[in-house]
Amino acid sequence: MSNENDRTPPDDPSSITLTYQHRHYWWFSADDAPETWHVTADIDDGGPHVGDMDITLVDTYETHDPFALLDGQDAELGHVAGTLFDAGDGQLDPDLDEQLEPTGSRILILHSVRLVPEWRGFGLGALLAGTAIRKLSGAARAAVCYPAPLNELTEARPDDQGDADWDEAVAALQKVWARLGFEHFRDGVCILDLSLVTLDEKLRQLRKNAERYRTVQD
């Protein structure tokens, strides 16, 4: 079945499987490193690769200083950490703390989502990311993302045209993650309260939208 651009996915999306991988030293504690998951999406039975996702979780109760922990990982996580946590005492931002329901102790950060080019443009990135968030959301209070282009695109930013391209890319990504219920909080960081039914409702709609491609290979 075709969409308005007469494009279809390379394969039936219902055949996509997600594989979750988490590695750590046995002696790691919550203060040594955040819990990082790499999720791969592939067509089952040895089919082609669809995409990759990276998700980071930090427990605000068990981690002494979430800000310092995340800030030491990379620039994007550092920006998220500076928005969510106080750099002095590591406590969750009081405005965010008040905004979120008090259930859960972990913050889930959707670090990156990358689909191979042939799979882009069908709404599947949000669907797969939302599915992975739901799978890893145990004891999580909120999901967080920072909708910004991948690092290689940031090199185009120094001039006016680069700024325009950057702003356009950010706006497009914000629309993508709004499909899962993410709302802007501060400094480009978006928040999704996982104690609400918002994610489940959004996922139901995204799954329904993906049904149109179920017969691609029939």
- 36 in helix, strand or coil? strand
Bridge partners (DSSP) listed for residue 142: 107, 193
- Across the beta sheet with 140-145, what order do the strands follow? 16-21, 35-43, 49-59, 106-115, 140-145, 189-193, 183-186
Cβ neighbors of 115 (< 8 A, separation 6 or more) are 41, 50, 51, 124, 125, 128
Q: Which CATH architecture has domain 13-213?
A: 3-Layer(aba) Sandwich (3.40)
d(CA 173, CA 120): 13
Q: Model confidence over 120-168: pLDDT tens digits?
A: 999 999 999 999 999 999 999 999 999 876 554 344 444 554 677 777 8
Q: Ranked by mean pLDDT, which of 106-115, 162-171, 209-218 comes out on top?
A: 106-115
* Statement: the pTM of the whole predicted model exceeds 0.85: yes
- The residue that leads in pLDDT, 175 or 204, is 204
What is the pLDDT of the chain when averaged over all its residues? 88
- 25 in helix, strand or coil? coil
Q: How confident is the model at residue 45 (pLDDT cuts 50, 70, 90)?
A: confident
- The residue that leads in pLDDT, 88 or 17, is 17
- The residue that leads in pLDDT, 6 or 52, is 52
d(CA 147, CA 171): 8
Query: At residue 196, does pLDDT exceed 50?
Result: yes
Q: Model confidence over 81-102: pLDDT tens digits?
A: 999 999 888 899 999 999 999 9
Q: What tokens appear for 90 in the block?
A: 């590591």
Domain locations along the chain: 13-213
- The residue that leads in pLDDT, 129 or 170, is 129
Distance of CA 85 to the CA centre of its chain: 19
